[in-house]
A and B are shown apart, each in its own frame.
Chain A
Amino acid sequence: MDTFALLLQGLAVAAQPINLLYALIGVTLGTAVGVLPGIGPATTVALLLPVTYKLDPAGSLIMFAGIYYGGMYGGSTTSILLNTPGESASIVTALEGNKMAKAGRGGPALATAAIGSFVAGLIATIALAFLAPWVVKLALAFGPREYFALMVLAFVTVSAAFGDSALRGLTSLFVGLTLGIVGIDLQTGQARLNFGVPDLLDGIEITTLAVAMFAIGETLYVAAQGKRAPETVEPVRGSLWMSARDWARSWKPWLRGTVIGFPIGAMPAGGAEIGTFFSYATEKKLSKHPEEFGKGAIEGVAGPEAANNASAAGTLVPLLTLGLPTSATAAIMLAGFQQYGLQPGPLLFTSNPQLVWGLIASLLIANFMLLVLNLPLIGLWVRLLTIPKPWLYAGILLFATLGTIGANPSLVELGMLLVFGLMGFGMRVFGFPIAPVVVGLILGPMAEQQLRRALAISQGDVMVLVASPISATLLAIAAVALILPLVLRAMGRGRILSEVATDND
């Protein structure tokens, strides 16, 4: 039977009233846990797993998929409104989204995130249905050296998020890279920079750092300004809904975000946040309004939000085709499959086509449900911003603290939240950008491990890094991205000099 007929059959399975109900429960729970920082989709699915022993496999997997997509949807809400990213994939959203919310454009920001997530989820799920076998081949072609090249490219391109001063941006980045070294080194099992504190052995949790730097740091900053602070927060200015101009500026980033996020999500060592970095950098490069970036550019919300939803669908590619879970949620979904004696892998598509296509079809349905559920909520969410400032920031502080100790009930974790919060405050006072610290913490350890793996496999031969066409190409693009602006600037300076010279004549 061809793919299309199988998909239609899957839709018939998913459209059974009981399965629709499971999908609805899934997306509602998923949105709720996505909005709450600290409890992520992985924990929710793990909590639900024992309950679903009694359900039929199709129903429970449909519910899990709903939670997964719902979590990706909900994560953007707190990022945009409260500058408190609930998970690493929505950190980039906070950069522009929160600026928009403060300028009274929270409605359009939430709308572009919701519609972007829908568009990306739709396209990526269809791509999952039709392209999975090819995408997975591409993903497997990525070994340590290719990942390392990808990380180098990511480092070069995310300098777009560094703000105006390269020196300050790099300083922040190196702070992040140092924090990334903390913990047990995967390759040798030895502890680094943990100062004898056992709680630091697993390294620094990305969400703890992000919540501390963004939410706590900003709360302290606002509190420190006291009454002198300008009344910047405007709940709504202009339309609550996206204007024609917002649409015009959003649709291309949605599509580009999807194209970037899907394959990176499918890579076993990719990860949703990498896709959001690339998307943000791309949008900043291509935007006609690059000066708005850092001040609330809608492209910077539309692209990354599409990218993180597309990579959620991408994650299902290796899970369904190879049995490879590439995220915590996917790992628990794999456990869910095994609970029913199903072994995801190359044989699943042929041995249980009804289930696989039912799952894919219910992802499509969950996606529609999420849009219907989320759009009307926007009006309610933005009203959060009408709360008087002292109350709002006290609430953010409470929310961030609860989220952190909810995820890991430990004093050390709470201490880290406060210390990094103070650090975030200090960096704001002295004008250092925050995002590069988080970027360094995410990319640093990935780049390091992949480089060391590549060199260990080659037994120390550095040439291996450029010996594959993929890694050579990625490194070449990175080199061009790094050198070209320098060359252009040098040439520009030359032109100005010659103009100055001619003026003198």
Chain B
Amino acid sequence: MKQFLAAAMLAGAIALPMTALAADYTIMAPAGPGGGWDQTARAMQDAMTTTGISGNVQVINVPGAGGTIGLAQFAQEANGDPTRLLVGGYVMVGAILTNNAPVKLDAVTPIARLTGEYEVIVVPAASELLSLADLTTKLKADPGAVSWAGGSAGGTDHITAGLFAKTVGVDPKLVNYIAFSGGGEALAAVLGNQVTVGISGYGEFQAQVEAGALRVLGVSAPERISVIDAPTFTEAGVELVVQNWRGVWAGPGLSAEQTAAITADVEKVVNSESWKQTLATKGWNNTWLPGDAFKAQLAKEIDATSAILKDIGLVQ
């Protein structure tokens, strides 16, 4: 009702050219407006309308518990409905495990992985830590003395910190991880010298790195990223690659033809100018991986994530 009212006011304010085209889609972002999943869903909406895949695309937000609330609702509502899509990502994998969610990712149909972002470890410019080697030395000497600021417990940032410790031979349970709720609180803690290091996606820190207020110690990518002036973890001798990816799912109970049709539509989105432009402005990488390959990769990641969350002590 309210949405309708706002939409009506909007339509009154700005005359939108409305044309009815082929398929209608409803995309669920299992998070509040403004976050990465919401932005992904809205970018898909925009690409679908501009390329004429669909004239009527709606985005709905079902926030809560790392996407698991939206996932449960989606699995139920979208059963056998080929017009419904769900945006999600790696954070969901961890959230399902830590919340012991009743509805898991096997309850929906994986369509494709879309984008990815790598994690970076940063320190304030004035920090005594100059390289990943310095960090490793300090971490080995006294794991508790290194405080890591990042997003919520069990999320990608926490998992990366745990994996980093494990790879350099420190018990992940001893990682002194300080969870901050999203939206820059972790960044403020790093800038204010409240913690030793910050760990998050590069986008969170980009402006401060460019302004010289923060220094990147390392990137979780497999090879160097042109825009980030820092070595990868692997280059620095820490054999670790982590990608915070986002993807799209459809409901359960679809036929092979329906799944193929949805995949073809999503592929058109990914190849559209509008989508490419979005990736460029937001600094996301295209990590297109459709169908069964995505499914296999997902299964591997669920196993690995489950193992590290047990090591950290968040999952029994």
- Chain A residues with CB under 8 Å of chain B are 25, 29, 32-33, 36, 38-39, 42-51, 53, 139-144, 184-191, 198-199, 201-202, 268-269, 318, 322-328, 330-332, 334-335, 338-341, 343-348, 402-403, 406-408, 449, 453, 456-457, 459
Tally of contacts, chain A with chain B, CB under 8 A: 182
Which of under 10, 10 to 19, 20 to 34, or 35 or more describes the interface residues of B?
A: 35 or more
A454 to chain B, nearest CB (A): 9
CB <8 Å contact, B9 and A201 = no
What's the Cα separation between A338 and B32 when bound, in Å? Answer: 18
Residue A347 contacts which of B101, B147, B152, B210 (CB distance < 8 angstroms)? Answer: B210
Residue A198 contacts which of B16, B35, B68 (CB distance < 8 angstroms)? Answer: B68
**A453-B184 CB under 8 A given contacts A33-B6, A189-B153:** no
- From B39-47, B108-116, B218-226, B232-240, the one touching the partner chain is B39-47
Instruction: Confirm or deny: B191 has a beta carbon within 8 angstroms of a beta carbon on chain A.
Output: yes
CB <8 Å contact, B69 and A44 = no
Task: Identify 14 new A-B residue pairs, CB closer than 8 A, beyond the known A141-B192, A322-B208, A402-B2.
Answer: A39-B6, A43-B33, A47-B6, A51-B16, A144-B189, A184-B99, A186-B153, A198-B65, A202-B63, A343-B206, A345-B207, A347-B210, A453-B178, A459-B176
Residue B195 contacts which of A199, A330, A345, A457 (CB distance < 8 angstroms)? Answer: A457
B193 to chain A, nearest CB (A): 8
What's the Cα separation between A36 and B35 when bound, in Å? Answer: 24
Instruction: Confirm or deny: B126 has a beta carbon within 8 angstroms of a beta carbon on chain A.
Output: no
Q: CB-CB < 8 A to A144: which residues of B? A: 178, 189, 194
Top 10 nearest A-B pairs by Cβ distance?
A345-B207, A46-B33, A324-B184, A143-B194, A406-B2, A189-B154, A201-B65, A346-B211, A189-B153, A268-B188
CB <8 Å contact, B188 and A43 = no
What's the Cα separation between A90 and B187 when bound, in Å? Answer: 28
B142 and chain A: residue at smallest CB distance: A459
Residue B192 contacts which of A53, A140, A340 (CB distance < 8 angstroms)? Answer: A140
A48 to chain B, nearest CB (A): 7
Instruction: Confirm or deny: B256 has a beta carbon within 8 angstroms of a beta carbon on chain A.
Output: no
CB <8 Å contact, B183 and A456 = no
B98 and chain A: residue at smallest CB distance: A189
CB <8 Å contact, A331 and B183 = yes
B176 and chain A: residue at smallest CB distance: A456
Q: CB-CB < 8 A to A328: which residues of B? A: 32-34
A227 to chain B, nearest CB (A): 33
Chain B 3-18 against A: per-residue CB contact (8 Å), 1 yes, 0 no? 1011101100110100
**A345-B208 CB under 8 A given contacts A51-B14, A144-B194:** yes
**A188-B314 CB under 8 A given contacts A39-B2, A268-B185, A323-B207:** yes
CB <8 Å contact, B7 and A36 = no
Q: CB-CB < 8 A to B189: which residues of A? A: 143-144
What's the Cα separation between A36 and B4 when bound, in Å? Answer: 13
Instruction: Confirm or deny: B293 has a beta carbon within 8 angstroms of a beta carbon on chain A.
Output: no
Residue A43 contacts which of B6, B46, B282 (CB distance < 8 angstroms)? Answer: B6
Residue A48 contacts which of B3, B10, B38, B68 (CB distance < 8 angstroms)? Answer: B10
A450 to chain B, nearest CB (A): 10
CB <8 Å contact, A201 and B188 = no
CB <8 Å contact, B179 and A186 = yes
Q: CB-CB < 8 A to B213: which residues of A? A: 346
Could you pull out 10 A-B pairs where Cβ atoms are within 8 angstroms? A46-B42, A191-B99, A198-B68, A198-B102, A201-B65, A322-B187, A324-B187, A343-B210, A345-B208, A456-B147
Instruction: Confirm or deny: B255 has a beta carbon within 8 angstroms of a beta carbon on chain A.
Output: no
A9 to chain B, nearest CB (A): 23
Q: CB-CB < 8 A to A408: which residues of B? A: 63
A52 and chain B: residue at smallest CB distance: B14
Q: CB-CB < 8 A to B185: which residues of A? A: 268-269, 326
Q: CB-CB < 8 A to B206: which residues of A? A: 343, 345
CB <8 Å contact, B153 and A188 = yes
What's the Cα separation between A459 and B179 when bound, in Å? Answer: 15
Residue A36 contacts which of B5, B14, B16 (CB distance < 8 angstroms)? Answer: B5
What's the Cα separation between A199 and B158 when bound, in Å? Answer: 24
What's the Cα separation between A198 and B72 when bound, in Å? Answer: 9
CB <8 Å contact, B179 and A457 = no
**Most-contacted residue by chain A among B34, B65, B98 (CB, 10 A):** B34
A53 to chain B, nearest CB (A): 7
Q: CB-CB < 8 A to A340: which residues of B? A: 281
CB <8 Å contact, A189 and B2 = no
Residue B183 contacts which of A25, A53, A325 (CB distance < 8 angstroms)? Answer: A325
A143 to chain B, nearest CB (A): 4
Residue B9 contacts which of A29, A184, A185 (CB distance < 8 angstroms)? Answer: A29
A165 to chain B, nearest CB (A): 35
What's the Cα separation between A502 and B279 when bound, in Å? Answer: 85
Chain B 273-289 against A: per-residue CB contact (8 Å), 1 yes, 0 no? 00000001110000000
Q: CB-CB < 8 A to A334: which residues of B? A: 34
What's the Cα separation between A407 and B1 when bound, in Å? Answer: 10
Q: CB-CB < 8 A to B169: which residues of A? A: none
Q: CB-CB < 8 A to B63: which residues of A? A: 202, 408
A342 to chain B, nearest CB (A): 9
A46 and chain B: residue at smallest CB distance: B33
CB <8 Å contact, B208 and A323 = yes
Residue A202 contacts which of B45, B65, B282 (CB distance < 8 angstroms)? Answer: B65
CB <8 Å contact, B35 and A331 = yes
CB <8 Å contact, B187 and A202 = no
CB <8 Å contact, A318 and B211 = no
CB <8 Å contact, B68 and A201 = yes
CB <8 Å contact, A46 and B208 = no
Q: CB-CB < 8 A to B7: which residues of A? A: 47
Residue B208 contacts which of A49, A53, A142, A346 (CB distance < 8 angstroms)? Answer: A346
CB <8 Å contact, A47 and B102 = no
CB <8 Å contact, B39 and A335 = yes
B298 to chain A, nearest CB (A): 21
**Most-contacted residue by chain A among B2, B102, B187, B192 (CB, 10 A):** B2
A61 to chain B, nearest CB (A): 15
What's the Cα separation between A227 and B313 when bound, in Å? Answer: 60
Q: CB-CB < 8 A to A188: which residues of B? A: 153, 314
Q: CB-CB < 8 A to A186: which residues of B? A: 152-153, 179-181
Q: CB-CB < 8 A to B1: which residues of A? A: 402, 406
What's the Cα separation between A46 and B35 when bound, in Å? Answer: 10
A141 and chain B: residue at smallest CB distance: B192
